[in-house]
Amino acid sequence: MAEKKKRRAGRAPKQRTLTELFRRNQRKKRNEFKPDPTTSTWLKTQKLTRLQRLRLVKWLLNALIIVMSLVIQDVIMSQIRLFGATTDLAVGAILLITVIEGTDVGSLFVLIASALYWFSGSAPTPLCIALLTFFGVGATMFRQMYWHRSRGTLTLCACLALTLYELGLFGVGLFYGLTYWGRLPSFLLTSVYTSLVMIPMYSLVHKTGLIGGNTWKE
pLDDT given at position 39: 56
pLDDT given at position 12: 47
Range with lowest mean pLDDT among 25-34, 84-93, 109-118: 25-34
pLDDT given at position 50: 80
Asked whether the beta carbons of 141 and 103 are under 8 A apart, the reply is yes
DSSP three-state, residue 82: strand
**In 3D, which of 216, 197, 206, 89 has the Cα closest to residue 154?**
206
Q: What's the pLDDT band for 36 if we cut at 50, 70, 90?
A: low
pLDDT given at position 156: 94
Separation CA 25–CA 38 (nearest Å): 23
pTM, to two decimals: 0.75
| pLDDT of 126 over the 80 cut | yes
Angle at 196 between CA 192 and CA 201, to 5 degrees: 135
For residues 3 and 28, the model is more confident at: 28
DSSP string, 112-149: HHHHHHHHTT-SS-TTHHHHHHHHHHHHHHHHHHHS--
Please give the domain boundaries of the chain with CATH numbers for all domains: 54-209 (1.10.1760.20)
CA of residue 120 relative to chain centroid, distance: 17
pLDDT given at position 128: 92
